[in-house]
Amino acid sequence: MYRQRLLAYLRFIALQIIILLWLFAFRHFTYDYVLEPAPVEADEEIQLAYLGG
């Protein structure tokens, strides 16, 4: 009985750690590849400068 409860507790902790690592990796990749707005802003500034805006 005690061993079964301990295994369930350890499995719960492992699941929490995996979820935290997955969320950290997802946030990292999302920030790097999706939410990084610098190239688009640079292109808009170049277009405005080229058009004389």
**For residues 31 and 53, what is the distance between their CA atoms, to the nearest angstrom?**
30
Backbone angles phi, psi at 24, to 5 degrees: -65, -45
CA-CA distances (angstroms) from residue 14 to 2, 7, 22?
18, 10, 12
- Residue 14 C-beta-side C-alpha neighbours within 13 Å: 6
Listed by start position, the domains of the chain span 2-51
Rounded to two decimals, the pTM is 0.46
Tens digit of each residue's pLDDT (9 = 90 or more) over 10-50 = 999 999 999 988 888 776 666 555 555 556 666 677 677 76
- Residue 3 C-beta-side C-alpha neighbours within 13 Å: 0
